[in-house]
């Protein structure tokens, strides 16, 4: 499958999730799971470390987001990623059309 085809499939899935309200439900579920596992607190601590290291006067919000995003994604437990993917697959199977 080409990159173009992959982007089209992702866009179709995203559209279907958004139209049905499932995207908001999944986002809330993810938020709760991340809070439960301590991810949010860990990320908050990491943000403080980055700001402390660079200095509050030497970093913008955009730079902070750019700095922490890769680590934030990597910090999400594999079990939560797998669970979310499973929920998306189940939704798509139940809502084929």
In DSSP notation, 20-57 reads: HTHHHHHHHHHHHHHHHTTHHHHHHHHHHHHHHHH-GG
Tell me the mean pLDDT in the region 43-68.
93
Cβ-proximal residues to 50 (8 Å cutoff; 6+ apart), any chain: 59, 64, 67, 68
Q: Six-digit token pair at 89?
A: 């697959």
The pLDDT of residue 93 is above 80? yes
What mean pLDDT is predicted for residues 52-67? Answer: 92
Classify residue 43 by burial, with Cβ atoms within 10 Å: 0-12, 13-18, 19+: middle
* Confidence grade of residue 50 (pLDDT, cut at 50, 70, 90): very high
The structure's pTM equals 0.81
pLDDT of residue 1: 77
pLDDT tens column, 13-46? 999 999 999 999 999 999 999 999 999 999 999 9
List the structure tokens of 55: 């200095």
């Amino acid at each position: 499958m080409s990159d173009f085809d992959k982007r089209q499939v992702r866009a179709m899935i995203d559209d279907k999730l958004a139209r049905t309200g499932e995207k908001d439900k999944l986002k809330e579920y993810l938020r709760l799971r991340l809070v439960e596992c301590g991810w949010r607190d860990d990320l908050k601590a990491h943000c403080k470390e980055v700001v402390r290291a660079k200095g509050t006067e030497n970093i913008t919000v955009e730079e902070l987001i750019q700095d922490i995003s890769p680590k934030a994604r990597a910090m999400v437990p594999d079990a939560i990623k797998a669970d979310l993917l499973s929920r998306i697959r189940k939704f798509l199977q139940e809502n084929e059309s």
